[in-house]
Structures are given as structure tokens and as C-alpha cells.
A and B are shown apart, each in its own frame.
Chain A
């Protein structure tokens, strides 16, 4: 896909026709609306909304699909901030600071910063996509199984370090998450594992159910317990971010755009990994790291920026090789193919106008989302004002829809309920939730890449240290683990059991 101004301009003229513009707006709108339903995340939202587009001709349909994708991603982070229910694993870091801000009455600024950061990062990475896609396509391929294993390993060690002094409980949550994800058929060998002979368990535990359970249902249970009349008592203080918020967030937006975009290029790298890495990086460079987890606006900016940049980055391998980099993009790819369009190098040769119109429409979609969502911030922030006795049951209902619509199995809904109860207990017993979520998301990639690497090296683990990219990640991971252990044992060992609640 070589770049040319005339093709891009042509793309814009096509994308800006009233009809195509209307579908872009419509897609962003319904994507946001469905994504904003707590319990329905981006993946479910896209799967639910895809049939909407099948009655349209190809270009408007794909423009609308891409807009739905963006919109749903945005909607998923809205619920993360307002009601502490991330729609997708990648929004978990958003919830960590966003919800705290919302509780302090600053939900409006958090949502505003999320919108602005999404826009900035989305646009920056679109520029990357537009001008450098052929160059960058190579990056997507540089990662083989050993590199992926090292990256996933680093992401996991990072999340353990994020659990601070609660290292032991973070470790337990991680191990539990990994183990749970292994229930079902081995993704490579098809061997049934930990299924106790039942066919239902062969379906395996879907991580979307885990997220819905731990966050949506768990959160509802906490509120039911205290007979809450609303989710938080504080009055809403500000509606939009102020200059100071922007000042704190600007650096985070730019840094997370870069991190998100480059990691987004890797087809095997889940957006959850990028947002966690960007969030952690921001915490490390921040002048006020103590605020992270307690309502740091730049934490929201970093997570949301990385999330959106990853989305755009993911289009590079999709357009260049026809390779989707996540469940949501896979659904999107299916949508392309329903029109007989085969993303990949051939599409650029056969149908350059179409591709450039889609790329142009993504720029426009980013603007639409910003224009659409900044005014809607007030409305979203008001979701929290719905009396809890009404909101709670509705969240349960949407969670059921969200869990069911991924694979259409009642089993997934039961799994969500069980993880809801587990999530409630983990909150009470001071176990961190984030490591468990990330572990369930990463388990499959971690195991398969390990297995593939070992086949390639005929069983020698040295392969992770002889290949340069892998070695860098492994060393970073080991440093982080050592750092975590040092933090743990440099203090009094009594803290081990006690000091989790900080």
C-alpha cells in the first residue's frame, strides 16, 4: 500500500459524501450507545451490530463497521469511568483512575480527557497508518513466537508489580487467572484439560465472561450489599476538563499514542497489553506517581490514548496482510469478507479507492467521536445518577446479554455469574482484580508462544535470550520482578499479609 496524496484526497472526497458521512455518524453513534451499556463490551457490541451493516453497499457498510468499532471502544471506556465497569480488558487501567475521579465528582473531566486523548492518539496513529504502513508492516512480522512470549511475560510481570506491596495476592490472582483460562481444550493440541469429563467445560472459560463477572456483576453485588441509592454520593463538580487537566495529560497522550501504535502493529498483542504497559510507563515517568490509582487524570489519558492508538495500529496488519489482531478486528474482517473483499495486499491493488476511502473515513470518524462525545459527557456522567435499585438490575440484564452474545452459550453466562461472586469476595479480601483479568486474556498467547518457541529451538529455553527483541523484553521482565521482590522484602515481612489495602 504505497501512499499518494491524490489517492488520499480522493478517499476524502468519497468519505465526505453526505451518505457516507451519515453512515459514519450513525456507526459512531450506535457503537457508542451499545458500548455504553454496562456489561456489553466492544467485542459483543460489534458482534451484535454487525448484521446492521449487511444491507448496505460495501463502502458505506465498511465505513459504518469501522465507526461502530471506534464507537464501541469509546463506549466501553465510558462505563469504566462512570460505573467502574470496563467493557474490555483494555479499559481496566482506565477504570483504575477514571472511576476514582468520578467518585470525587470529576467524572466529567475524566470522560472529556478520555475523549480528547482518544482523538489525539487515534489521529496520530492514523497519520502513521497513512504514511508509513508499508514500512511498518515489517514490524508486524518481526515478532515470532519467542518475541511474543517475552512480551507477554513482561506484561504479566508488570501487572504483578502494579499490585504494589500486595505482591503475594497479585501473584495468586495471576496464577488463578492463568489456570482458569486453561480450562477447556488446549488451543494447540485440542486436548481436554481440567474439564472433569464434562462437555460444557470443553468450551473453556471465555475471558469476556470473566471481565463481565469480575467487574460488572461484582460491582453490582457490592452496591446491593450497602443498599446504595446511587453509585457514589459526591455531587458532580466539573463537567469538562480544565487547563490543568490538559496540561497534566498532554505528555501522556503523546507517549501513549506512540506505545499504543507500535504495539498495535503486532497482530498477537492484545490491546489489553498495550494499555497496561502505557499506564505503567506513565506511572514511572510521572512526577506524582502516588496519585495513580487514586484519580490521576494522566492515567486515564494514557490508557485511553493507548487503547485508541492500538485500534488504529491494528489496521496496518489487517490492510497489509489481512491479519486481524484481536477478536473485535476479526469480526470486522469477517464483515469485509461478507462483501467478497479480501483485506491484504491484493485489496490495495484491486480496490485502492475503497481502502483510501476507509482510511479517510477513519480520520473523520475520530472527529465525529470527539464532537459527538464531548457534548454527551454530561449525559454519560449522569448515568451514575440513575437510582441504583434501577441501574443495578439493568446492569445484570446487560451483562447477561453481553456474556451470551459472544458465543451464544448459556455456559458463558453462568461463568460470568460465578466470577461475579468471586469478584465480590476478592474485593472484600483485598485481592487485586487487574492481574487476574490480564492473566486470563494473555494465558493462551503465553502458552502457545512458549510451546511454539520450544518446538523451534528443539526444547532449549535459550531461544528467549539469543534473539535480540525477545532478550530485551525478558531482561526488562526480570528487572521488574527483581524490583517487585526487593520492594516486598526490603520492608518488614509483616507487611506481606497486612498491607494490601493501601
Chain B
């Protein structure tokens, strides 16, 4: 499997880092600046990109030349990947909904889904608990402390 061993992972991540270094190298060349007398605004980003490029290559080469014992990276199994991806997807959806729906409602939806998905508890219990949580947070942070969360169409 892809990046199964530490050696393969080192090679892949080294290559990715080198590419990233190259990308930011180009990007940092585009930094303009009229007032950088002794240390131009682009100098440090440029040097750091260079460091990342070189160390990335070193990692790649180190992995390539490595002839020692194979170390297996503990990647998740099929089920594990599924859980992670679905959880991540739900978080992404949550962040997208945060502004249009408001903090309270979208948080309630996230909590309900994620707790149900990870724990499979009784749905009614989950809903009651989440309701209590978000209402508490709403009153505590939004009403009491005046924290400016995004609010939904209904003002919460």
C-alpha cells in the first residue's frame, strides 16, 4: 500500500516538501518591497523555502538510500479511514454552514451528527444533551459575555 513503510513515507513526504519549497520559492520571489534596506521582506521567506526544498530532498534521498529494517507506519484500516473522512467532511460542512445558519444551530447539527456517528447512542438522548450544550454556550458566551458569533437568520 501507498506509504506503508516509514521509508516510503519519507520519500513521498520529502518529495512533497521539496515541491512545496519550490512553490513558495517562486512565490517569495514575487514579494515586492520598497523599503527593505538591510533585510528585504522577501529574504527570509526565500531562505526558508530554500531550506524546505533542500531538507525535503534530503528526506527523499535518505529514504531512498535507507537499507535498514522496514518500519511499518500505523495507518488506519479501511474502517478507520472511513471514520476520519466522514468526520472531516462533517466538520467542513459545519464550517460552511456556520455563517449562514448561525453558530448555535450549526453547532447543534454537528454535535448531533458526530456524536451519533461515533458513538451510536440513543438519538433522543443525544439531541437532548446537544440542545443543553448549545443553549448553555449560547447564553454563556453570546448573551452573557457578548461574544460576536455569527448569528443565523433568526438572530441566534
Contact = CB atoms under 8 A, between A and B. Distances in A.
A48 interface: yes
Nearest to A461: B38
Given A178-B48, A430-B6, A191 B91 contact: no
Contacts of A168: 55, 58-59, 62
A179 B38 contact: no
Interface string B86-127: 011001101100110000000100110011001111000000
Contacts of A494: 66-68
Interface residues of A, number: 61
Interface string A383-416: 0000111101110110011001100101001100
Contacts of A397: 107, 110-111, 133, 137
A455 B39 CA distance: 8
Interface string B58-80: 11001101111101011110011
A410 B31 contact: no
B52 A417 contact: no
Interface string B126-155: 000100010001000100111111100000
Contact of B10 (A49, A224, A390, A497): A497
Contacts of B17: 172, 176
Contact of A182 (B48, B58, B114): B48
Contacts of B141: 48, 401
A51 B147 CA distance: 9
Q: Classify the secondary structure of B's interface with A.
A: helix
A405 B142 CA distance: 11
A410 B150 CA distance: 9
Interface stretch (A17-25, A73-81, A94-102, A446-454): A446-454
A175 B39 CA distance: 18
A498 B92 CA distance: 35
Contact of B31 (A49, A178, A191): A191
Contacts of A497: 6-7, 10, 59, 62-63, 65-66
A193 B7 CA distance: 34
A429 interface: yes
B67 A389 contact: no
A290 B21 CA distance: 35
A226 interface: yes
Contact of B110 (A169, A189, A393, A430): A393
Contacts of B81: 225
Contacts of B119: 387, 389-390
Contact of B98 (A51, A410, A429, A455): A410
A480 interface: no
The 6 closest A-B pairs by CB, nearest first: A389-B119, A389-B118, A454-B38, A497-B62, A393-B114, A191-B41
9 contacts: A48-B141, A169-B59, A172-B56, A225-B80, A393-B110, A417-B92, A451-B36, A497-B6, A497-B65
Given A191-B36, A227-B80, A401-B137, 9 more contacts: A171-B51, A194-B31, A194-B45, A221-B87, A224-B87, A389-B115, A389-B121, A397-B107, A498-B71
